[in-house]
Structure formats: C-alpha cells, structure tokens
Chains A and B, each alone.
Chain A
C-alpha cells in the first residue's frame, strides 16, 4: 500500500514538474502557461515528491523508507517519460488541438 501511494505521489510530482517546463507544456497542457503558473506547478511537483518521501519514511521506517523512495522516484519518472513519449509520437496535428 505504501508503495502504491508513494508511486502515485511521485507520478503526480514528476507530471507537475514536466508540465512546469515550457518545452513540454504544449503537449501536456495543450498551451503555453505563464511564468507564475509554471512556478506554482514546479512548487506543487516538488511538494508531491517530498510528500512521497514522507509517506515512505512513515510507512517503512527511516532507513528502508529513504532507499525505497529512490526506487519509487525511478519507477515514477520512467512511467511519466513513457507516457510523454507515447503522446509525442502521435501525429502532431492532434496535440495542437489540445488533446487530454
């Protein structure tokens, strides 16, 4: 259970960090966001990753939790990139229309 919650939080975190980057915004959000929105997303992403760390530490103890968190970060980042890659390999006309 701890694993699932932490991975979900990490995915949320990385997805937000990704959406905060102008180069990915067109594909993820469908349009360019302003600097302020990007900053808020970055903050939210970082907070989600830290929250995942807190969940791991609470659920698995300080030592195991810290190690497991690194693993959760890896899995979540891989999933986000895989999703992004799938989205970007679609015909370009689609994401100009702002799918998702």
Chain B
C-alpha cells in the first residue's frame, strides 16, 4: 500500500462512518431515550398513579388474575417497581379456553392493574418501550433483518471508533479544543471533542451492543455443538418445562413470604417478574426472577417454588464464567442497574454520542463543500448525503416529539391507537425527508431544526391542555416525573432552536463570504 497507515485509517473512518451514520444516529437517539423508557412510558400513561408495597401489589395482581383467568396455563406478572407504578399482567389461556373460543387467536390476554389489583384503563400506547425496541428491532420490517442491519451498523461503528482513534493523531493535544464559528474546523472540533469525552462509553456501548446480538451474529458455536438452536436456548434460558396439571385443586400460597425468601437469597434484591404455572392446581409452580435493577449482570437468576406448598424446588442463575460475563456486558449496555445519578450520566453520554455521529455526518459535507468544483450544482452523491443528514439529524428528533404529541392528541378511543402513535413518528420523520429534498439545503436545515424545536416546545403546552398533570401541578404536588419531562422537552426545544439560529447565522456568514468572493472576482 502506497498510502500511510494513518491515511488508510482516515479513509476507513470516513466511509465506515458515513455508510452507517444515519442508522447509528437513529440508534443513538432511540437508545439514549430508552434509558428513560419507564419514565417515558409513565408520562405516556398519565392516567396511572400509584406506588405501593411491592409484595402487596403482587398479591393484589394475583387476586385479579384469579378472578379473571383462573384456568390459564401460565400467568406472568411484572410487579410495580420504583420506576413503574403499575403491574403488567399477561396470561396464557388454557387449552380448553382456546378450544372453546374455536380459534387459534390468543385474544385479549393482558392487563394493567394498579397497586390494589384494580384494572387501569390507560390509553393504548407503546410508550418508551417502542423507542427501546426501535433501537435494535427498527420498525416496519422483520425483526431478524433489522437485527442484522443493526448488528452490521454496530460493527461499522466499532471500526469507525478504532480507526478514528488512529486517524486523529492529536487526540490528546486537541482534547480541549472547541472553536465555534470557524466552519469546517468547528465541525471537526465538535466531532473530536464529543468523541473523546465519552470514548470509554462508546467503546463499551458498541462492543456490548454487539454482545447482545452475539448468538444471532455468530451462531457458529451453537450450530457446532447443538443439533438445533432451540436446545441451546432452552438450556440457557429454561422456559419452565410444561408441567401436567394434576387435576387436584389447591389454593396458591401467599406470595409475600416467597418474595421475602427470594430477597434474602439475593442480598436484598427485589423480584423483577413472577410467573405462575398451572395456577389453582396442586402442580402449580411459582417462578421468581431477580429484578435487573439489583446488579450489573442482568441474566435473571430465578427461584422456583411449589405454588401449593411454598417449598423451594429449584433455582438457576448465571452458570459459568462465559454466561456471567455476557450478563455483565448486557447489563452494562442496558444500564438497568443504574440509579438516578448514573442513569443521567448514561443519558448524557448517549446524547454526546448522537452529537458525535451527527457532527461526523455534517463534517463529511463540510469538508467536501469547500472543494466542490461548482458549488451551485454539487454532484448527486453530495446532495444525497446533505439531504439525508437533514432528514436524519433534525427529522428523527422531530418525529419523537410528534410521537409524544400524538400520544396526547389522538382520540383516546381509536382503533390501533398505539400503532398510529408510532405512524405519527414516521409521518413527521418522512415529512422532514420530503422537506429536506424539496427545499434549498440551507433553508431546509434551518426550517427542519426550527420545526423540531417548535414540536418539542409544543409538547408541554399540549400536555397542559389535555392532561391534568404538568410542570406546575407537578411542582405543587411533588409529581417530579411530569416536572422533569416538561423541563426535558423545554431543554430540547431550546437546543434545537439554538441549532436553528446557528444554522441561520452560518448562512448569513457564508453568503457574505460568497458576496465578498464575487466582488473580488469582479475587481480582479
């Protein structure tokens, strides 16, 4: 190779970064938002407020299930936690029930109950969970393909990070360099600075992100050792073998002592989910899974009790070093163990990551704009990148604001309401793309950023008009979630407004420069 190592790495960094940059930006944005998915979910279900004793709430949820689905095969209960006020319930109807209904359809087998076992009627929404799933499952496409795409993008990210470290030779000399208003140099500064700040986070998040997809991206170990992948997954994640019903009715033991026993075994850690197999039968099993918030490794240790006697029958946890390592890596990635302080640090690092990817994308155009042979008619590739940058960087945040607004504005009773909230996100995002293509590039930047700012600014206002909980009532009653959410929306609105102003300012500078250049040309 004639080029030096560093030049070849620069080439790799540029193209690996560009090719997956838009997807990576979307992953950073939605993944960062997902650190607050429970809080976003609570905001999107403003009807719910309750926060009681976990064991009592779980018992109440069981009471609801006993009344509603006594013949189900399995009940799943996600008890309320510090971050979610409701218990989420799912159940698998018994065979008789499915046969009686005459279809294979599982029908309505989920419910949300408050801490006292009363069903809560909440608006139909996917809440923060959608942003979390989009982070690795995308949308409107099969999950398997999406995960390959996301996996490939993550590998490109890892390549871009490592080649970026090599390329940027003055990584420490430029550590504190951030100069605004210097065109391309400023974009390079912003890219470098945001890259270096949270470098340990980016390396960690990219690598552990790949680990979460490890069995899909590298199935070879499983293929080589197991006749069918199913055997492997059953071994790793024992789903609880189906237990034959004994046909003898037996009441379920109270749940509180089981949860207390679990907490004692797990050094005080809480229960993350409860599964009851064959409820009401002598063969009933109660499986408690450790809450992910209690340790970095989130593999989910489980304890299995007899539902009729309350005796501990079996237990499982991360077995072996490899599983434990994987559990810790996934735990580090998802940050479910993080308390408030660390959760915000995760969030800010994620924001820095989005800025890093975004500034890298803009830098690609900024670098090439100066060298365009005919600035009025840039080549197709340049225009494509420039327009996609606008749609990706301003469009997705605007779409998320649209998602929040749709949650408040769509009629409460509506077919497929949750799906339409999500469609709204993509409608706004798509509209930004159309706008970015239709308008002159610089106008499109200013207008899309301003639109994102306006949409975020509209969220607190629309919320205050449609729902009785908002910033002011929150301050008065200590409803901090609604205070924090409104403040976050205002911050984002100010941020995008600032960006729009900067873009408008840059336009003024560059047109002044162009005029000066034209004058110089004329006098020459």
| A50 on interface, CB distance cutoff 8 Å | no
Q: List residues 41-94 of chain A with CB under 8 A from any CB of chain B.
A: 63-64, 67-68, 70-75, 77-78, 80-82, 84-85, 88-89
What bracket does the count of chain B residues touching chain A fall in?
20 to 34
The chain B residue sitting closest to A68, CB to CB, is: B342
| B198 on interface, CB distance cutoff 8 Å | yes
The chain A residue sitting closest to B332, CB to CB, is: A67
- What 0/1 pattern do residues 1 to 44 of A give for CB contact below 8 A with B? 00100000000001001100101100000000000000000000
> What residues of chain B have their CB less than 8 Å away from a CB belonging to chain A?
173, 175-176, 178-181, 193, 196-198, 200-201, 204, 296, 332, 337, 341-342, 345-346, 348-349, 352
Q: Which residues does chain A contribute within 8 Å of B193, judged by CB atoms?
A: 81
11 A–B contact pairs at CB < 8 A? Answer: A67-B332, A68-B341, A71-B342, A71-B345, A71-B346, A72-B345, A74-B201, A74-B349, A80-B176, A81-B178, A82-B178
Query: Are the CB atoms of A24 and B176 closer together than 8 Å?
Result: yes
By secondary structure, the A interface counts as helix
* Given A67-B296, A68-B345: 11 more A-B contacts, CB < 8 Å: A21-B176, A71-B348, A72-B345, A74-B352, A77-B175, A78-B348, A81-B178, A81-B197, A84-B176, A85-B180, A88-B179
Minimum CB–CB distance from A56 to chain B (whole Å) comes to 10
By secondary structure, the B interface counts as helix
Q: Which residues does chain B contribute within 8 Å of A89, judged by CB atoms?
A: 180-181
Q: Which residues does chain A contribute within 8 Å of B175, judged by CB atoms?
A: 17-18, 77
Query: Are the CB atoms of B198 and A74 closer together than 8 Å?
Result: yes
Query: Are the CB atoms of A75 and B176 closer together than 8 Å?
Result: no
A64 to B181 alpha-carbon distance, docked (Å): 39
The chain B residue sitting closest to A85, CB to CB, is: B178
Q: Which residues does chain A contribute within 8 Å of B198, judged by CB atoms?
A: 70, 74
A82 to B180 alpha-carbon distance, docked (Å): 11
The chain A residue sitting closest to B347, CB to CB, is: A71
Q: Which residues does chain B contribute within 8 Å of A84, judged by CB atoms?
A: 176, 178
A73 to B198 alpha-carbon distance, docked (Å): 8
The chain B residue sitting closest to A83, CB to CB, is: B176
